[in-house]
Amino acid sequence: MKNEIRDNIRELVIKYYEEYHVDKKEYMEGDRIQYSGRIYDSDEMVNLVDAALEFWLTAGHYVEEFEMGLAEFLNIKHCTLVNSGSSANLCAFMALTSSKLGDRRINKGDEVITVAAAFPTTVTPIIQYGAIPVFLDVTIPDYNIDINRLEEARSKKTKAVFIAHTLGNPFNLQYIKDFCDKYNLWLIEDNCDALGTEYFYNGEWRKTGTIGDLSTYSFYPPHHITLGEGGAVCTNNTQLFRLVNSFRDWGRDCWCASGVDDTCKHRYTQQFGELPLGYDHKYVYSHFGYNLKPMDLQAAVGCAQLKKLPKFVAARKRNWKYLKENLKCVEDFLILPEPTPNSAPSWFGFLMTVKKNAGFTRSQLAQYLEGKNIQTRNLFSGNFIKHPCFDEMRKTRIGYRVVGDLSNTDIIMNQSLWIGVYPGMNQKKLEYMVKTIKEYVNTYKYQEA
């Protein structure tokens, strides 16, 4: 009877999806074009309802299935699901502060190389912990870290490099990983915008997120796949995997899975700190951690999304290629993006920089596109150190270091914007975006003539 009722519910969910969630409206020129959004069908809704019927709620078998599935997709050993991409960055960074890493741990006052042209949560954990971010400029048109300044940026206090693959375009992984290996530095790949990107590393194609010591992911709705909210940390290093789990799970020393006891078979036989001998290992805390665990409801959606990921990646590549090929005619006015050599990006967006002599500004172009119902975005924080959260730090120049003048970062802050390439784009939407950009640029081309 129970299975029969569940089967009936699943059938009703499918019927509900087909009746109320399938967008039957054909796109008409001028309809709103989002830069990104959820792509789903009845599979996600059935999984979500199935998890609700089980009512386990916290991390359960769907979380385990998702972690195994993402690890398999990436070809990496370990995956830890968390409640957001920001939490993923926090857990990944905090894992490197653990005393269990000995001399390689990041201490307060140690330095971490990063960029200011970043999403805040790549930098925030460094500052919140009390380490020192060292900001480098980026290069255009790949919009990734300027590797020529790495040696200058390194000091005796440098312990790690923590940077993102910008809008799916990977930074020079070969050079940066070699640099990290040379000086025994940790490398965290913020892979939140690059799930599915590949890079030719040491003679073989590898997915980004598998080359650094740790990698992070976000599953917020605009990303390559969505769990509604959610993120992940991946690694091939078992010690780092357990440290990530510790910081995610209240800082506990025990590494048993949720709902499981005494995996190590020494639950009541060990000595920790000044606790009594044999204190229950389940309640021993080796770190000041958090509760950043996901819900099984989220993971249930993610399990369905993972099956669609290869098609999503292919669509993003195809849409980006169309925009690049059909906007070449406006390169006198706009700098178009270029993929990093030896890479096959799984693009998050199509980034353009308005040239200084274009005759119009980024804001004017953005307002025109928004007025034509084409959603645009700036490249996240532009120059993060110019935001209000840095006001006090800027006054004292204490708490961070800048190498160079960040001139390209300022160009991005003032002149760059991007539009979407997500799988929800169809040919008519792509054509309309190209047509609209050309129309706007051509008004200035004819004025110039």
State the residue for tokens 């906007």.
327
Inter-residue long-range contacts of 47-54, CB under 8 Å, 24+ positions, other chains counted:
47/300, 47/301, 47/303, 47/304, 48/297, 48/300, 48/301, 49/9, 49/10, 49/13, 50/6, 50/10, 50/300, 51/296, 51/297, 51/299, 51/300, 52/297, 53/6, 53/9, 54/296
For residue 363, the surrounding DSSP H or E stretch is helix 362-371
CA distance 218 to 226: 8
Which token pair is 336?
Answer: 């178009």
Which token pair is 57?
Answer: 């709620």
CA distance 349 to 375: 12
Say if residue 194 is exposed, middle or buried (CB neighbours under 10 Å; 0-12, 13-18, 19+): buried
Distance of CA 324 to the CA centre of its chain: 23
Among the residues of 207-270, which ranges form H helices? Answer: 238-248
CA distance 42 to 15: 9
Kindly list the catalytic residues: 223
Hey, how many other C-beta atoms are within 10 angstroms of the C-beta on 62?
27
Say if residue 286 is exposed, middle or buried (CB neighbours under 10 Å; 0-12, 13-18, 19+): middle
Q: Are 117 and 378 in contact (CB under 8 A)?
A: no
Nearest to 161 by CA among 143, 144, 140, 141: 144
State the residue for tokens 């399938």.
22
105-115 CB burial, b ≥16 within 10 A, e <16? ebeeebbbbbb
Nearest to 372 by CA among 425, 320, 440: 440
DSSP state of 402: E
For residue 163, the surrounding DSSP H or E stretch is strand 158-164
